[in-house]
């Protein structure tokens, strides 16, 4: 038995900032001080505050050390773990107040969060099934198998108001009900872990931090719809998640929580992994199932819906990782508990991956109905470098940009759609005044052009034409007729594409046109990029009054575009300038400007 637990984050974020070395150094140092039997070292999943990794938490006093370095470990061990003197200097600075150390749950980042799907992430060791059971794990499965009928389970989900967290927001209970109604000799339960939106990583973190929650929920789903086999389709680019899922499945099989005759009830259910090769379209449900079948990942028309004819032509349900992670808690705490959180039509919480121009990049889980302002200014800590907020992008390449005028809108499925964006899987990219909205739209179109599977023409050819027009605009070569054509194409592609990828691909353009049309027009009419991003429309100049002739810029110019003699104003040769911006960075007198 240990008197203290030291939790070291082993999520992808902290692993890449070196948490593995911290873990080793910690174990070594504890051994040196003879504390191995007194202090437990636990590697956990993501704690959310990825910007401050590697993260280390010491319990029971819950001291939160951030940006830990290997050199700090001896001090933390001898001072804190041996003598009980918290090394305040190394704590997360938000927890240190003049009145003493405050609890992590009282900091701005965590205060407004409510963790259901992320409840165990960063708390338990994901590679130890017993720790999951210790926090109530597999109790929901036990309850379902021994006390509830499949119809009861579906009714609980319907009453809870849970909607799909992968983006579409389809009621989960209804999906299960449809699959249950279809009789078949075999049915399947699938999990969509093919998280492909740029900037979204909540599914990865759940799989890395609490894989058993997903396995348990899938078994519950199997019982509810009458399936005995589950598949998790996970990206091969998530090696840590894949590894922990494998360990989790094996441990669950060993404990007979997967396999034959679970809890002696005669219910049989097993789960296998399928690795995706990284095609964005495979996140679309029919393409995903085609890929599991071993074919090229291309979507097919619906109907028939997967609930009728899904994987291998059998009734199938497909839910997202985060959706599953909510389910055991709904079963244990009841649908009323879940429905008490959120807004009228969107219940519960949603995990967002904060990224872009924001202080606290990382994962947050907030009740539906929280405003964008609360998420960005309070939880996210605002925009760095005193810049002004311009827009937030949600829903990845399928979503849109939300401008500052909608800062106080409560976030839920329907509100986001009404303002031209969508929930998507929950990526939230914050942009400030130095981001060009045309350039952002172009970035997402580049992504969809790359990822379009090519099966249907509107998406394959249409997105390419859109990208060409956008490129013309950013180069200052477009006309107002091009803008009209772009808009027309958007509606055409939306209405005629075969699957969600094409149907939503124009959203980044449509939403930026809706709120930032003036920026498009500035590019076209004035040949000017207001944010100063589009290189073709920029030129760099030296103010002769401010230039001291120090020659620093000329010496750093990679293309020898700057000429001038010592103590005399320098000049940039516009023909040679490649607009890299190196001169602006080097100039100590603020003499160089771009326009």
Partner 1 sequence: MKSLEELRAIREKMQGQVSMRAEDHTHTRVVVGMATCGIASGARPVLNTLSRLVQEKGLTDHVAVTQTGCIGLCQYEPIVEVMEPGKPKVTYIKMNPDKAAEIVERHLIGGHVVENYTLSSADIN
DSSP alpha helix (H) spans, 165-320: 172-181, 202-209, 211-225, 239-254, 285-292
3-state DSSP of 448-481: HHHHCCCCCHHHHHHHHHHHHHHHHHHCCCCCHH
- Among 256, 293, 414, 495, indicate the residue that binds partner 1 (CB under 8 A): 256
- Among 75, 91, 112, 136, indicate the residue that binds partner 1 (CB under 8 A): 136
- Among 65, 92, 109, 138, indicate the residue that binds partner 1 (CB under 8 A): 138
Cβ atoms within 10 Å, residue 393: 30
Residues that contact partner 1, how many (by CB under 8 A): 39
65 vs 413, beta carbon nearer partner 1: 65
Closest CA to 538 of 551, 549, 529: 529
- Among 31, 105, 277, 480, indicate the residue that binds partner 1 (CB under 8 A): 105
59 vs 593, beta carbon nearer partner 1: 59
Least CB distance to partner 1 at residue 5 (A) = 6
Least CB distance to partner 1 at residue 99 (A) = 14
- Among 28, 32, 111, 134, indicate the residue that binds partner 1 (CB under 8 A): 134
- Among 170, 184, 228, 263, indicate the residue that binds partner 1 (CB under 8 A): 263
Name the CA radius of gyration of the chain, rounded: 27
Least CB distance to partner 1 at residue 23 (A) = 17
Does 89 sit near partner 1 (CB under 8 A)? no
Interface residues for partner 1 in 476-515 (CB under 8 A)?
none
Least CB distance to partner 1 at residue 105 (A) = 5
- Among 152, 261, 272, 414, indicate the residue that binds partner 1 (CB under 8 A): 261
- Among 46, 50, 68, 104, indicate the residue that binds partner 1 (CB under 8 A): 104
Interface residues for partner 1 in 9-68 (CB under 8 A)?
38, 40, 57, 59-62
Least CB distance to partner 1 at residue 145 (A) = 9
User: Cα–Cα distances in Å, from 141 out to 135, 213, 225, 282?
Assistant: 14, 10, 14, 29
Q: What DSSP string describes 58-92?
A: EETTTEEE-S--GGGHHHIIIIIIIT----GGGB-
CA distance 108 to 94: 8
127 vs 482, beta carbon nearer partner 1: 127
- Supply angle C-alpha 383, 385, 387, rounded to 5: 60
Point out which span in 130-138, 437-445, 482-490, 534-542 binds partner 1 (CB under 8 A). Answer: 130-138
- What are the start-end ranges of the E strands in 387-527? 389-394, 400-403, 427-432
Closest CA to 66 of 2, 118, 7: 7
127 vs 487, beta carbon nearer partner 1: 127
- Among 20, 135, 471, 551, indicate the residue that binds partner 1 (CB under 8 A): 135
108 vs 482, beta carbon nearer partner 1: 108
Does 84 sit near partner 1 (CB under 8 A)? yes
Element (H, E) at 10: none
CA distance 364 to 236: 24
User: Cα–Cα distances in Å, from 433 out to 275, 306, 316, 437, 524?
Assistant: 40, 44, 46, 10, 19
Give the sheet arrangement for strand 39-44, strand by strand. 39-44, 4-9, 56-59, 63-65
Least CB distance to partner 1 at residue 58 (A) = 9
CA distance 578 to 572: 11
Point out which span in 83-91, 177-185, 322-330, 335-343 binds partner 1 (CB under 8 A). Answer: 83-91
Does 87 sit near partner 1 (CB under 8 A)? no
If you search the block for the tokens 């202090």, which residue do you land on?
39
Binding site residues, partner 1, CB under 8 A:
1-5, 7, 38, 40, 57, 59-62, 82-85, 103-105, 123-124, 130-131, 133-139, 142, 146, 255-257, 261, 263-264
């Amino acid at each position: 038995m240990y008197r203290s637990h030291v939790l070291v984050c082993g999520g992808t974020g902290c692993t890449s900032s070196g948490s593995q070395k911290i873990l080793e150094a910690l174990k070594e140092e504890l051994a040196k001080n003879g504390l191995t039997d007194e202090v437990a070292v636990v590697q956990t999943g993501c704690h959310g505050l990825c910007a401050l990794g590697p993260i280390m938490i010491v319990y029971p006093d819950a001291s939160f050390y951030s940006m830990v370095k290997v050199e700090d470990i001896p001090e933390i061990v001898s001072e804190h773990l041996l003598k009980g003197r918290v090394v305040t200097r190394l704590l997360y600075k938000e927890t240190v107040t003049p009145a003493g150390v405050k609890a992590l749950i009282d900091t701005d980042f965590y205060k407004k969060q409510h963790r259901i799907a992320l409840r165990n992430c960063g708390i338990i060791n994901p590679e130890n099934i017993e720790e999951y059971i210790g926090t109530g794990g597999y109790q929901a499965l036990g309850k379902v198998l021994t006390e509830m009928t499949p119809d009861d389970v579906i009714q609980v989900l319907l009453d809870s108001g849970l909607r799909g967290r992968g983006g579409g927001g389809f009621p989960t209970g209804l999906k299960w009900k449809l699959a249950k109604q279809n009789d078949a000799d075999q049915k399947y339960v699938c999990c969509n872990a093919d998280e492909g939106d740029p900037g979204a990583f909540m599914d990865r973190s759940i799989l890395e931090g609490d894989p058993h929650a997903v396995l348990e929920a899938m078994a519950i789903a199997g019982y509810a719809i009458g399936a005995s086999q589950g598949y998790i389709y996970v990206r091969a680019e998530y090696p840590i998640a894949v590894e922990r899922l494998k360990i989790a499945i094996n441990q669950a099989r060993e404990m007979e929580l997967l396999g034959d005759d679970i809890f002696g009830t005669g219910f049989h259910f097993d789960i296998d992994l399928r690795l995706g090769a990284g095609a964005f379209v495979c996140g679309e449900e029919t393409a995903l199932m085609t890929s599991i079948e071993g074919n090229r990942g291309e979507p097919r028309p619906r109907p028939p819906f997967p609930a009728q004819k899904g994987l291998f032509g059998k009734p199938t349900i497909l839910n997202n990782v985060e959706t599953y992670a909510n389910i055991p808690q709904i079963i244990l705490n009841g649908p009323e508990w879940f429905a008490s959180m959120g807004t009228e039509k969107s219940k519960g919480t949603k995990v967002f991956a904060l990224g872009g121009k924001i202080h606290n990049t990382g994962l947050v889980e907030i009740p539906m109905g929280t405003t964008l302002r609360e998420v960005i200014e309070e939880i996210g800590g605002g925009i760095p470098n005193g810049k002004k907020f311009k827009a937030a992008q949600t829903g990845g390449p399928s979503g849109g940009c939300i401008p500052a005028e909608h800062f106080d809108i409560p976030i839920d499925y329907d509100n986001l759609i009404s303002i031209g964006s969508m929930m998507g899987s929950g990526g939230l990219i914050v942009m400030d005044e130095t981001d060009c909205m045309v350039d952002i739209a172009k970035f997402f179109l580049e992504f969809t052009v790359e990822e379009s599977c090519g099966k249907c023409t509107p998406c394959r050819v249409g997105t390419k034409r859109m990208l060409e027009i956008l490129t013309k605009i950013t180069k200052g070569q477009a006309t107002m007729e091009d803008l009209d054509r772009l808009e027309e194409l958007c509606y055409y592609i939306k209405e005629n594409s075969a699957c969600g990828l094409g149907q939503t691909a124009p959203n980044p353009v449509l939403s930026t046109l809706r709120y930032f049309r003036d920026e498009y027009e500035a590019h076209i009419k004035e040949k000017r990029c207001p944010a100063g991003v589009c290189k073709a429309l920029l030129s760099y100049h030296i103010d002769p009054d401010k230039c001291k002739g120090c020659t620093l810029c000329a010496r750093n110019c990679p293309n020898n575009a700057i000429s001038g003699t010592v103590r005399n104003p320098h000049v940039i040769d516009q023909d040679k300038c490649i607009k890299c911006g190196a001169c602006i960075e080097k100039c100590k007198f603020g003499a160089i400007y771009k326009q």
